[in-house]
Amino acid sequence: FAQLQKPVRLAKGFRDVHDLTHTFTARTPVFPAFKPIQITPKFSIAKDGFFANEITFDEHTGTHMDGPVHFVQGGTTADTLPAEKFIAPLAVISIESRAAKDADAVVSVDDVLAWEKQHGRLPAGAFVAMYSGWGSRIGSADRFLNKDGNGTMHAPGFSEDVAKFLTRERDIVGAGVDTLSLDIASASTSVAHLALLGAGKYGVELLANLNAVPAAGATIIIGGPKHEGASGGPVRVYAVV
């Protein structure tokens, strides 16, 4: 027990911890197929002697993980993904300037190669995150979903080509976005999901604060869901630098 009382020391001299998780609230934008998050006080200290909420939500709401089984019949469930895959070198690829002008902007192979030209080849076992600046819209579900006159949503994501490149030509554990989907929101088919999850990788969607961490050199830590048979679920995500 004495060992448990020792102060926490971050490994390898990490100095800063960044929370990459949006607060899980009833106001969090959700993909239209899912219900809004519901948080209801169920017990109170005054009446019951303790306080607790009842929370109702779909797996793929808030900052959350997509396990391979989310799109692949018979794929790995999120609860059985190896724990060592949840701590990884973090590579942040920014397309913020393009996304500000084009809501259908994508992370391309050229973006990855440009990142590598500046920072070196993607580390083995890396987690690759897209930063589009979309988090600035989090306070408005309408702006975040960004539907056009026909009801089609528009938001950035990974291209099919880059998803295949990352799984075939590089060694990654997963990929993430600061939007609701690994694919661009207007995609008619989930090509990036299928390429990434089909290769046994996982996704994390609705990441926050990616602009606060360096493009290279940080480590991502993901508290993955572990309910039985999980296709995914809310996660708490940190970056340490």
Q: Cite the active site residues.
A: 70
In 3D, which of 103, 95, 218, 220 has the Cα closest to residue 162? 95
Q: Where are the alpha helices (DSSP H) in the chain?
A: 45-48, 96-101, 109-119, 141-145, 160-168, 191-198
d(CA 103, CA 120): 29
d(CA 154, CA 185): 5
In 3D, which of 97, 88, 87, 90 has the Cα closest to residue 215? 90
In 3D, which of 162, 22, 176 has the Cα closest to residue 90? 176
In 3D, which of 195, 216, 213, 138 has the Cα closest to residue 237? 213
